[in-house]
Amino acid sequence: MFTDRTWAGAGGARPPRLLAAFAVLALIVSACAGSTASPSTSSAAPAGAPSGSAAAPVSPGASAAGYTGPEATISYSIWGDPQEIKNQQAIVDAFHAANPKITVNVTVSDWEPYWDKLQTSIAGGDAPDVFAMDGPLFPDYQSRDVLLDLKPFIDRDGYDLTQLADQAVADFTTPDGQFGLPRDLNVVALYYNKKMFDAAGIPYPDETWDWAKLAEVAKKLTIKDASGKTTQWGFYTETTDMENYWSELVWQNGGDIISADHTKSLVGSDQATGGIQVLQDLIWKDKVMPDASITDALGDAFEQGQAAMESNGSWLVATHQAAGIDFGIAPLPKGPAGQATSINPTGAVVYKGTKNPDAAWEFVKYLASPAAQTKLMELKASLPANKEVLSGPFATSFEGAQVLVDAIDYAHIKPSFKGYNDWTIALQNELDTNVFNAPNKTVKQAITDVLPDLDGILAGQ
């Protein structure tokens, strides 16, 4: 059963063994394919790296016109729902049409198993050639030397990084090199249900809103029935991750999450705790937002048409549209320190042990190209990382898209550091238990209690 599998997984031998078997199979298959393929016809670009070592790319004079190496099959792994595979397949097919010598196999997994599989396949030496990387988790992988530095490829091809959103590029840059290109990015904004605002005769939220205005309108839009049961909530957000709202509140209050050198947690400052306190008050003091026991079963109250406003990510545009909600998008309400939101890029990275670094690079480059980015844009799953698409067709592709694009200017990058999972589990556990799910403690008290653990985790990295 499930439990047994977990045990085997903890032993670490079963999945890699299986994977190793597949790897051998894959090798045989690709070797056969390789033997029939004609070698590169271009004299200028011996771009292949058949040794398998992820060495620096060859021949700086290679043309930027396209891939000229031997035929190659690369694997590309992403997280997402099954629907996603169809979308990604369309992008991959277009890539194959432009680069007939490269075949890309896409696999899609759920968020949780995606990381389990990725770790075990890297440990087994058979990771996908190209895979999706979450901004915050990037340092945990990059620092362990499993990602290929793309800087030599960028230099060779004269690839222009400034065509991509700057913060998103920076998230995958380290002093050692450039370890991925952003594929897409997400910002957080305020969704509002137009019907509910119209029914109450309240003007839609705009960039003049601040925290006080949010609480005031949320109260007005919270409706109870005769028995005292709330039938419409003024506000909704997710409390289980900082990105949905609480990190934004910290920044809007002039605080920060973690020091720039990643050695000290800053969530204990008065600005930080004061910001998070706003969220606890919305749930437990103003009671304009459903608490966890309700949302556990209800899901996204805004999507269910039971909440008038929601602070959440741009990834929900398509979901809310599919749910038939007539909504608008506004900037998050300002705090005492002004406007702030969160930006979080997803990148495409290359496995350091890839047998086809050139083909992998070609594909990563393609994912960030206007052609692929336009396809991504049509999914409304997130914002394109390519500036040309971002400020061009995307900004007018749906109502409120411009608000999301503008938000990038005042967005803070979602914290990204080694030990991110460890640190956030400890912090979220305390916040969920004692602040958001039940008002057992003030935010100040809760963070004071958990701060030694948090800094202990950072010290242990």
Partner 1 sequence: MAALTRARRPGPRRGGGSLVREGRWALVFLAPTLLGLAVLSAGPILATLAISLTKWDLLTAPKLIGLDNYAALLSDDRFLKALRNTFFYTIVSVPIGLAIALGLAAALNTKVRGISFIRTAYFLPVVTSTIAIALVWQYIYSANGGLLNEVLGVFGIPAQKWLSDPTLAMPSIVAMSIWQGLGVNVIIFLAGLQGIPTDLLDAASVDGAGTRARFRHVTLPLLTPSIFFTGVLSMISAFQVFDQIFVLVKPRPTDATITVVYFIYENGFKTFKMGYASAASWVLFLIVALFTAIYFWSQRRWVYYQ
Least distance (Å) between residue 140 CB and partner 1: 6
* Residue whose CB is less far from partner 1, 14 or 220: 14
Buried (b) or exposed (e) across 405-438, using 16+ Cβ within 10 A? bbbbebbbbbbbbbbbebbbebbbebbeebbbbe
By three-state DSSP, how is residue 100 classified?
A: coil
CA distance 103 to 97: 10
Paired tokens of 237 = 């957000």
Least distance (Å) between residue 92 CB and partner 1: 27
For residue 255, list its beta bridge partners: none
- Which of the stretches 56-64, 78-86, 103-111, 140-148 binds partner 1 when contact is defined by CB under 8 A? 140-148
Given candidates 126, 140, 248, 310, which one binds partner 1 under the rule CB under 8 A? 140
* Residue whose CB is less far from partner 1, 289 or 376: 289
Identify whether the C-beta of residue 194 lies closer than 8 Å to the C-beta of residue 204. yes
Buried (b) or exposed (e) across 90-117, using 16+ Cβ within 10 A? ebbeebeeebebbbbebebbeeeebbeb
Identify whether the C-beta of residue 333 lies closer than 8 Å to the C-beta of residue 214. yes
Q: Under 8 Å CB-to-CB from 457, ≥6 apart: which residues?
A: 419, 422, 423, 426
Interface of this chain with partner 1, residues 413 to 442, rule: CB under 8 A: 419, 421-422, 425, 428-429, 432-433, 437-438
Q: How many residues bind partner 1 (CB under 8 A)?
A: 41
Reference 307, options 330, 287, 281, 284; nearest CA is 287
Least distance (Å) between residue 165 CB and partner 1: 28
* Residue whose CB is less far from partner 1, 406 or 453: 453
- According to the binding rule CB under 8 A, does residue 24 interact with partner 1? no
- According to the binding rule CB under 8 A, does residue 174 interact with partner 1? no
- Which of the stretches 2-10, 176-184, 255-263, 408-416 binds partner 1 when contact is defined by CB under 8 A? 2-10
Radius of gyration of the chain, Cα coordinates, nearest whole angstrom = 24
* Residue whose CB is less far from partner 1, 120 or 344: 120
Least distance (Å) between residue 225 CB and partner 1: 13
Looking at the chain, the number of H-run helices and the number of E-run strands are 19, 14
In the stretch 55-74, what mask flags binding to partner 1 with x, by CB under 8 A? --------------------
- According to the binding rule CB under 8 A, does residue 9 interact with partner 1? yes
Integer distance in angstroms from the first to the last C-alpha of the chain?
A: 34
Helix (H) or strand (E) holding 443: helix 443-459
CA distance 151 to 220: 54
Interface of this chain with partner 1, residues 235 to 264, rule: CB under 8 A: 240
Least distance (Å) between residue 115 CB and partner 1: 7
* Residue whose CB is less far from partner 1, 44 or 111: 111
Interface of this chain with partner 1, residues 289 to 318, rule: CB under 8 A: 290, 292-294, 296-298
Interface of this chain with partner 1, residues 79 to 118, rule: CB under 8 A: 115-116
* Residue whose CB is less far from partner 1, 110 or 155: 110
Least distance (Å) between residue 142 CB and partner 1: 10
* Residue whose CB is less far from partner 1, 30 or 119: 119
Sign, CA dihedral 367-368-371-374, equals positive
Least distance (Å) between residue 193 CB and partner 1: 19
- What are the residues binding partner 1 (CB under 8 A)? 1-3, 6-14, 115-116, 119-120, 122-123, 140-141, 144-146, 240, 290, 292-294, 296-298, 419, 421-422, 425, 428-429, 432-433, 437-438
